[in-house]
Amino acid sequence: MTKINLTDLTIRKAHEAMKTGDFSARELTQTYLNKITEVNPNLNAYLHLFDGALKQADEADKRFKDGTAELLTGIPMAIKNNICIKGEITTAASKILENYRAIYDATVIEKLRKAGAVFLGGTNMDEFAMGGSTENSAYGVTKNPYDDTRVSGGSSGGSVVAVAMDGSLASLGTDTGGSIRQPSSFCGTVGLKTTYGRVSRYGAIAMGSSLDQIGPVTKNVADAEIIFDCIKGDDDMDSTTIPENLIKELKVKEKMTIGIPRHFMKEGIDEDVMKNFDESIEKLKSLGHVIKDIEIPNIDYALATYYIIMPAEVSTNLSRFDGVRFGLYKDGGENLLQDYMKTRAEGFGPEARRRIILGTYVLSAGYYDAYYDKATALREVMKKDFTKAFEEVDIILTPTAPTPAFKIGEKSDDPVQMYLSDIFTVSANMVGVPALAVPSGFTERDSKQLPLGIQFMAPWMGENILFEIGKDFLGEK
């Protein structure tokens, strides 16, 4: 079998190689499976490998022969384990769904399947996508491939590490407050949070329904664009998707004006992150872009507002797990109510319980006005602030995360410290704009190189602007 160099491989390169016959889809899939067998036992990126991968690869090889192959045909992908693939175990890294087999394909899976992608396996995550380190998984932490004493970030840590360890060419994650972008920053991958409503959430296990979006994790921006083009679009099964007739193609400028909300970067940011951020700004200047200081008045409230709206939606969404229709059932109660209480006590981990309780509190009579109602009003104000900011600039730039990857266990006893890890990423979810995290260099800790990242935010439906600036920054043009 041809030896395939996975390190430098991209979707387009793999496509060309399969087209010219340098290697087959089966050989490519087998190479990834071998790599997974070698590195996954330590890093724990994958929770389950799917049985059908080699068969799908054979199907892809047929398409290369009969000339119907598309860009994603035969491309091996990892799928976050909260996205349904028919017949496969889909746990959302929770004990309450330990034995749950999805009974249908998510819309994004259906689209990728049609394009001929190969699904290698389901990846680890924080339980129900709640967390920033994958330490909340019921199935163990996913370690950082650059330093295995550190976290991968989260919640899509498994999907990100699958790509970073060359255990898949690309993957899908979900992003509710930074869950694709923050781990991408920790592990040196490219991660895209799409405009709210641009990609169907049908078949993604819901966490915060007004915030959740599915998006790609890849090695470069061109690959993220290829996957985005495949999975985007209006869907009859998700009423929050944006109808095609309302999609605006935004104009992409060659030289862009990039806004920096400096007032938002005063406290709690690692010195090396700031230094790298300033170097990234210099690089963008040297590429001919214009840098402008901007103010986004209420952005300081984004994280606090997020920690009201998200748990409120969590407490609602997770009420469906009760041991009646699917998942874990704990017997032993005298009546149905006690069965519910025992099942949920056994099935949910500490962070899920914490957020359910918090969400129940902010929605309860007497506190609703002060928390939930105020937070939703503040969210509307923030949307206006972003609209105004985008009248002045094409792009808003921040670091992706305030620190490099932290040590396993370092923040697990302090929920608020963990939440602060999403400080730069949550606002894109709160207002619904797309955001792209790209690697921007390294810093050294304990004589190990750790990746850092920056985040570009564009106006609603401005993914094309993000791809342009991202490729320019990474030298992909």
* Binding residues vs other proteins (CB under 8 A): 100-101, 103, 236, 239-240, 298, 301, 304-305, 307-308, 315, 319, 322-329, 333-342, 344-345, 348, 353-354, 356-358, 360-361, 364, 369-371, 373-375, 377-378, 380-381, 414-416, 419
The residue among 361 and 442 lying less far from other proteins, judged by its C-beta, is: 361
Give the C-alpha separation, 463 to 428, whole Å: 13
The encoded tokens of residue 88 equal: 């496969």
Residue 123 burial (CB < 10 Å; 0-12/13-18/19+)? Answer: buried
CA neighbours closer than 13 Å in the CB half-sphere of residue 244? 5
Q: What is the dihedral of CA 465, 466, 470, 471, to 10 degrees?
A: -50
The answer to whether residue 200 is catalytic is: no
Determine contact, residues 25/60, Cβ cutoff 8 Å: yes
Instruction: For the CB of residue 457, give the shortest distance to other proteins in the complex, in Å.
Output: 20
Instruction: For the CB of residue 338, give the shortest distance to other proteins in the complex, in Å.
Output: 8
The residue among 16 and 380 lying less far from other proteins, judged by its C-beta, is: 380
The residue among 188 and 347 lying less far from other proteins, judged by its C-beta, is: 347
Instruction: For the CB of residue 139, give the shortest distance to other proteins in the complex, in Å.
Output: 20
DSSP structural state of residue 474 = H
Alpha helices in 412-475 (DSSP H): 415-419, 426-431, 463-474
The residue among 353 and 448 lying less far from other proteins, judged by its C-beta, is: 353
The answer to whether residue 155 is catalytic is: yes
**Which of 156, 159, 168, 179 is an active site residue?**
179
Give the C-alpha separation, 305 to 310, whole Å: 8
In which region does residue 252 sit, left (phi positive, over 0), alpha (psi from -120 to 50) or beta (all else)? beta
Instruction: For the CB of residue 337, give the shortest distance to other proteins in the complex, in Å.
Output: 7
The residue among 53 and 84 lying less far from other proteins, judged by its C-beta, is: 84
Instruction: For the CB of residue 325, give the shortest distance to other proteins in the complex, in Å.
Output: 5
- Which candidate, 87, 99, 80, places its Cα nearest to that of 56? 87
**Which of 24, 133, 155, 412 is an active site residue?**
155
Residue 157, H or E segment: helix 157-164
Residues designated catalytic = 80, 155, 179
